[in-house]
Structure formats: C-alpha cells, structure tokens
Chain A
C-alpha cells in the first residue's frame, strides 16, 4: 500500500485524471467517427471526395484544416466539399467532435 503514496501528490493525480479523460474522449471519438463515416461508405478507395457537415458555418480555422486535407472545392452554408482526401485523413477528421457528419460526395463530375 505504501507504494501508492505517490498518487496523493497533486501533479501525479491531476496528470492521471487528465490522461484518463483523454483516453475516454479518444474512445468516444473513435466510436462516434464510425457513425459519421462508415467503412461501407469508404470501400476500397485510397482517396475520396467528401461533404463535411458542421453544426455552424465554417470559419478560417476550419477552412485552413480542410485545405490541408485535400482540395477544398466549395463551402455552402454549414457544409464544405473536398476532393481527393486520403481515407485516413477523412477518418481522423470524423473523430473531431465539432464535425457533425461526413458524407461521400460524387465530386465535380457527379
């Protein structure tokens, strides 16, 4: 029992709490991402065209991040349309809590 004495120190238990919180959020975001962008929708594609739906109109912060993922084609209301987004990047974006949904978009030719 004496080996657990160090847990009473503030830096230790606060850091432990933060790590637990981070782990819980990561687990939740992983599950939530599966609902936003499912494996069936992606298929075997290496790069996909997507419509990102937010709960608000995107700001410069979001536009910059979208531009780093693929080719940002247009923004309409609360949706941003991107082409040639790597699948892993799209999955990572789906984990963000501020992303409401991600739908597969046929692209400009569609």
Chain B
C-alpha cells in the first residue's frame, strides 16, 4: 500500500490564502502612521479641537455609527457619485463622438468646450445653488460637469485617431456610415472612452466632496463641513478618512479590475508588472 505525504496544495484554496508581502507592508506603514500620530498628540500639546488623536477619531467613528449618521452619509455620497459618473460619462461620450465625427460640430462646440473646461466646477456651484437650490440636482449637475471633460476629450481624441485605412477598408467593402460607426469607429474608440471614464471617475470623487460641502445637507463632504462648524474636529477627520477608504474601495474593487479587463488587455496601458 503506497502512502503519500499531504502537502499544502491539498488544502482548500481558502485555507491556503496568505496576505501578500505588499499588503503586509502597507498594513505596517499604516500602523506606524497611527503610532506616530498618537505619540505626536501629547508632544504638540494642544486641545483635541485643534489636533484630535487617533483614539478621539475612533471614538467619533463609533459614535457616528451608533447614531446611524455615518452609514446614511456614506450611502448618500456613494449614490450621488454613481449617478453623477453615469450621467457625465453618457453625456461625455455623446458629445465626444459628435465633435470627433462632425467638423461643423467641432468648429461650433470646440471653442466653447475649451472655454468651459477652464472654469472649475467649484466656481459653478454657487450659481447652481441659486438655480436649483441645495440638494441632489445641484450635486448631480456639478458631478456631470466634472466627469464630462475627461470623457469627452478622450472620446474625441479616440475618434480622430482611428486609422483612416480601417475606414477606407470598410467603405471599400460597401459599409454604410452607420455600419462604419458601429463596426469600426466605436470598437476602436472604446479604450479611449474607458481611459476617460477612469480619469473622470477619479475627478468626480473630489468634485463630490466639494459639492457636498457647499450644496448638501448629508454626505461625507457635509460631515467634514459640519464637523468643523460644530467644533467637532474629530468628526471632520472621520469624514476625511471615510472619503479615503471609500475611494480605495471604489478604485480597487471596481475601477482597477475594469481597467485590467479592458484597457490593459487591449494593450493601451502597461503596468509595471506587465513590463517585467
């Protein structure tokens, strides 16, 4: 009777999981940062209003969870972000295709787009508040404005850089304009659109926080603003940390895998790992 020594590969995959060296280094870095922060509080010697300690922030975090405030604010921010990115991407793609494909549209809209691109979204928010008041509409318009430009410019560039030989080949085969758009231009432009989407999604998150600080009565941006106004600096820091965590979640769970599955696979972007 033969015997075989059990090895690690016999374990179910879940039991074989180990954190990567990179993750461990990241966790160690974070731990060191927290320790330094806590040590610096008595050394600086000011009240927690000016410089809350990690423990103060942790207590405020627990307080906000217990009172149901943080989950509602985080979900409000996430909902606004998702809606704003969806609308801005749709409008950006539509305008980018129009300007890229139509010379008249490019001549009429191009200078206007460049003009408005220079005006940051924060400068528009007071006017949006006058037009639509505080609330969701103002925030969605602001987010759409932020997401629009990177998506539009990338889409437009993508359309203009489609190799003419592809279009000529399709024409030679008797393709109609609609078929050329659907079968040649759109597939060729897709990597540019996705790159624009990725950039726009990043800008949108920052824009969301600005918009909520000015024009909202809920959300993480509002929490940051409200904490300062109510002399609750620990809550302001909780808002800031939650912002960072929420962005890390969105980026690592949705945006990076999306980019890996599309743009990197199509060879438009190479990562450091891919180059090695």
Q: A9-B257, A11-B257 are in contact. Are A56 and B66 (CB under 8 A)?
A: yes
CA distance A11 to B255 in the complex (A): 9
B258 A62 Cβ-Cβ under 8 A? no
CA distance A61 to B70 in the complex (A): 11
Other than A11-B253, A54-B67, A55-B66, give 4 A-B pairs with Cβ distance below 8 A. A10-B252, A61-B69, A62-B68, A64-B217
B115 contacts chain A at the CB level, 8 A cutoff: no
A11 B67 Cβ-Cβ under 8 A? no
Query: Which residues of B54-89 are within 8 A (CB) of A?
Result: 66-69, 72
Task: Give which listed residue, B72, B217, B253, B261, contacts A14 with CB less than 8 A.
Answer: B253
B67 A10 Cβ-Cβ under 8 A? no
A59 B253 Cβ-Cβ under 8 A? no
Query: Which residues of A36-66 are within 8 A (CB) of B?
Result: 54-56, 59, 61-62, 64
B17 contacts chain A at the CB level, 8 A cutoff: no
Task: Give which listed residue, A10, A14, A59, contacts B69 with CB less than 8 A.
Answer: A59
In the complex, the chain B residue whose C-beta lies closest to that of A55 is: B66
Residues of A within 8 A of B (CB): 9-11, 14, 54-56, 59, 61-62, 64, 96-98
A-side contacts of B252, CB under 8 Å: 10
B68 A96 Cβ-Cβ under 8 A? yes
B131 contacts chain A at the CB level, 8 A cutoff: no
B-side contacts of A98, CB under 8 Å: 66-68
A-side contacts of B257, CB under 8 Å: 9-11
Query: Which residues of B253-270 are within 8 A (CB) of A?
Result: 253-254, 257-258, 261
In the complex, the chain B residue whose C-beta lies closest to that of A61 is: B69
In the complex, the chain B residue whose C-beta lies closest to that of A98 is: B68
CA distance A55 to B257 in the complex (A): 42
B258 A11 Cβ-Cβ under 8 A? yes
13 residue pairs bridging A and B, Cβ less than 8 Å apart = A9-B257, A9-B261, A10-B252, A10-B257, A11-B257, A14-B253, A55-B66, A61-B69, A62-B67, A64-B217, A96-B68, A97-B68, A98-B68
CA distance A59 to B68 in the complex (A): 11
CA distance A64 to B258 in the complex (A): 39
A-side contacts of B68, CB under 8 Å: 61-62, 96-98
B-side contacts of A61, CB under 8 Å: 67-69, 72
CA distance A19 to B205 in the complex (A): 23
B-side contacts of A97, CB under 8 Å: 68
A-side contacts of B258, CB under 8 Å: 11
Question: From residue A92, how far is it (CB to closest CB) to chain B in Å?
Answer: 13
Question: From residue A54, how far is it (CB to closest CB) to chain B in Å?
Answer: 8
Closest 7 CB pairs of A and B: A98-B68, A14-B253, A61-B69, A10-B257, A11-B254, A11-B257, A98-B67
B67 A59 Cβ-Cβ under 8 A? yes
Question: From residue A65, how far is it (CB to closest CB) to chain B in Å?
Answer: 9
